[in-house]
Homo-oligomer: A and B are copies of this chain.
Amino acid sequence: MHIAITGAAGFLGQRLVQQLIAKGELRQQAITRLTLIDQVEAPQPDPGNIAVNSIALDITAPGALDSVLAQRPDVIYHLAAVVSSAAEADLDLGMRVNFDATRALLEGCREQALTHTRLIMASSVAAYGGELPEVLDDMTALHPQNSYGAQKAMCELLINDYSRRGLVDGLVLRLPTIVIRPGRPNAAASSFASSILREPLNGDEAVCPVPVELPMFVMSPGKVVDALIHGAEVPSEALGPFRAFMLPGITVTVAEMLEALREAAGEKALARVRHEPDPRIEAIVASWPAQFATAKAQRLGFVGDDNFKQIIDAFIAEST
């Protein structure tokens, strides 16, 4: 079992690598080889008996992935992407990385006749937008209101078509907002959702820029990685006529997230959250849908978090 991962140096890629190594097998076959691809060489945890190859390359360069695909990986995780704010700031960059590189990856699979290779791409809640119903489901149209979402939605169509034609065995998982991310706050509009929990738990101050009534659709990093792994194991014939769907996140308001923080770490932790409304961030986050019926993912055996307390507890357990 040879697994290749683009974006392997990223937060999600790194967690996936760790978990694959810990698991040691996929589809009941021993993992013998991991190929980690990113712009910089991805850090390698102790791989045990697994041959790990970490390659620094630009996936937008012509033929960049040819040598990897020639090794006929059984599973490819395509996590490399330009994030939403960067794709919005630079249309060409977003098209090149988020769309063209995905198309080149599909073409590479086609050239190598990797018809049985499971190609798993991460898509996003950002692919939804516009005049949405209160509760979205697997048949809700993608009317993205940002270039990142548009590019991901185009990739979904392409991966589905290549899979339908039998050129590759594709799957696209739309990720909810991931909470709690490790690290520091960043420019992403969703950054606060991790920050208002992570910083107080670490004894630091954080800013909440949105009204606490705001609902969000979230999933813990652990459950997202579980879903990526499960995505490699779902049989092709179960995927049905469209191979992209939303993962089973949970809907929580910011108030519920803060109440879970108080329960886990007390009033003192809660007091570290300053409320400073930022209408710009509120406008972006409020445009993301927060309620989904994720029937397809659940039917296929994808599992979300039970409640927000579990998400906080997992973060605390992982941090200590």
Which A residues lie at the B interface, using CB under 8 A?
91, 129-133, 138-145, 147, 150, 153-154, 157-158, 160-161, 164-165, 240-242
Pair B130/A91 contact, Cβ less than 8 Å: no
Evaluate whether A241 and B147 lie within 8 angstroms (CB atoms) in the complex, with A139-B141, A141-B142 already known. Answer: no
Chain B residues whose C-beta falls within 8 Å of the C-beta of A242 in the assembled complex: 129-131, 141, 143
CA distance A164 to B130 in the complex (A): 11
CA distance A142 to B158 in the complex (A): 12
CA distance A40 to B125 in the complex (A): 44
CA distance A195 to B164 in the complex (A): 29
Q: How far is the CB of A7 from chain B (nearest CB, A)?
A: 22
Pair B143/A153 contact, Cβ less than 8 Å: no
Pair A240/B131 contact, Cβ less than 8 Å: yes
Q: How far is the CB of A208 from chain B (nearest CB, A)?
A: 26
Pair A142/B157 contact, Cβ less than 8 Å: yes
Pair B150/A158 contact, Cβ less than 8 Å: yes
Of B138, B154, B164, which one neighbours A141 at CB under 8 angstroms?
Answer: B138
Chain B residues whose C-beta falls within 8 Å of the C-beta of A142 in the assembled complex: 141-142, 157
**Residue of B with least CB distance to A103:** B95
Of B91, B129, B139, B157, which one neighbours A241 at CB under 8 angstroms?
Answer: B129
Pair A139/B144 contact, Cβ less than 8 Å: no
Pair A147/B133 contact, Cβ less than 8 Å: no
Chain B residues whose C-beta falls within 8 Å of the C-beta of A161 in the assembled complex: 144, 147, 150
CA distance A140 to B132 in the complex (A): 11
Pair A160/B150 contact, Cβ less than 8 Å: yes
Report the copy number of this chain in the oligomer. Answer: 2
CA distance A141 to B130 in the complex (A): 13
**Residue of B with least CB distance to A155:** B154
CA distance A302 to B148 in the complex (A): 31
- Beyond A147-B165, A154-B158, 11 additional pairs, beta carbon < 8 A: A129-B241, A130-B241, A130-B242, A131-B139, A133-B139, A141-B141, A141-B142, A142-B157, A150-B158, A150-B161, A154-B157
A91, A139, A142 — most chain B CB neighbours (10 Å)? A139
A to B CB contacts below 8 Å, 27 in the list: A91-B165, A129-B241, A129-B242, A130-B241, A130-B242, A131-B240, A131-B241, A131-B242, A132-B139, A133-B139, A138-B141, A139-B141, A141-B142, A141-B242, A142-B157, A143-B160, A143-B241, A143-B242, A145-B164, A147-B165, A150-B157, A150-B158, A150-B160, A153-B157, A154-B154, A154-B157, A157-B157
Chain B residues whose C-beta falls within 8 Å of the C-beta of A91 in the assembled complex: 165
CA distance A144 to B161 in the complex (A): 8
Chain B residues whose C-beta falls within 8 Å of the C-beta of A150 in the assembled complex: 157-158, 160-161
Please give me the 7 A-B residue pairs with the lowest Cβ-Cβ distance, nearest first. Answer: A130-B241, A143-B242, A150-B161, A154-B154, A130-B242, A150-B157, A141-B141
Chain B residues whose C-beta falls within 8 Å of the C-beta of A144 in the assembled complex: 157, 160-161
A132, A138, A153 — most chain B CB neighbours (10 Å)? A153
CA distance A241 to B146 in the complex (A): 11
Chain B residues whose C-beta falls within 8 Å of the C-beta of A141 in the assembled complex: 138-142, 242
